Amino acid sequence: MGAVIESRNVSKSYGPAAVLKNIDLVIEAGELTAVMGPSGSGKSTLMNVLSTIDQFSGGEVWLEGKSLLDMNKRALREFRQERMGFIFQDYNLLDALTVKENILLPLSLRKFTAREMEERLLPIVQALNIEGILDKYPNEISGGQKQRAASARAIITNPAIVFADEPTGALDSRSATQLLEQLAALNERFNTTLLMVTHDIYAASYCRRVIFLRDGMIVNELYAGDQPQKAFYDRILETVSLMGGKAR
């Protein structure tokens, strides 16, 4: 299937402070991956660099085989709009638009026809179980529903990869579980590639691979393999404990 993202010897510094140090990473198409680590380990910086939001200081990054060093600002912007999706902790929904309008916004901006938008909308909202709230506004729905709407917006463009920044951070445990189960189902049904940054062991346990950062370096990786979610949770918990982190 091929790599969606590949980084080689990537570093990032802010002045004299090195935040990322020689990161080698490959994310294959269809992978469901979490990045974990203590505060200040470089998790968000890594996501920002891989998603082209921030520039790296050294090394090289390829997106679907294209080197970022060979892409100008316009090409990067178009790639971000057309081949990437983003799920944020604070949802980033527009209050003046309905849930349906929020979800369809990326397609509207790209001049899709109404028929094309409806064809893409239905299977996604069914998978996320939000068909019943499409005509509501963000202030009329729960946090869990907002995050599922944001997830639908992120994947409706059929992106090569979805970046999720602490997607369960603002949710209660029930809403978080529902979202994680539905993201896993989306990954299974649509082969959506997702890279999630999280502090939450429970959230990470729904992924098939977990990458651990510390002091700007990858220090460990775990693969779920055939393990059920609960067994993978226990392995992640043990790894975090051995690294001296705090379990959540």
Judge whether residue 50 has pLDDT over 80. yes
> Which of the residue ranges 85-94, 157-166, 224-233 has the most confident prediction, judged by mean pLDDT?
224-233
Average pLDDT of the segment spanning 152-181 = 90
Residue 12 lies in a domain: no
| Banded pLDDT at 246 (limits 50, 70, 90) | low
Structural domain includes residue 207: yes
* pLDDT for residue 227 is more than 70: yes
The pLDDT of residue 1: 60
Judge whether 208 lies within some domain.
yes
Specify the pTM. Answer: 0.89
Q: Would you state the pLDDT for residue 111?
A: 87
Which tens digit of pLDDT belongs to each residue from 119-137? 999 999 998 889 999 999 9
Average pLDDT on 36-61 reads 93
Cβ atoms of 213 and 7 within 8 Å: the answer is: no
Average pLDDT, the chain: 92
Residue 113's pLDDT is 94
Q: Is residue 21 part of a domain?
A: no
**Res 186: pLDDT:** 85
Share of the chain above pLDDT 90, in %: 73
Q: Is the pLDDT of residue 41 over 70?
A: yes
- Tens of pLDDT, residue by residue over 65-109, are 999 999 998 999 888 888 899 998 888 899 999 999 999 999 998
- Per-residue pLDDT, 42: 94
Specify the CATH number for the domain of residue 148: 3.40.50.300
Domain that residue 161 falls in: 30-56+72-244
- The total domain count for the chain is 1
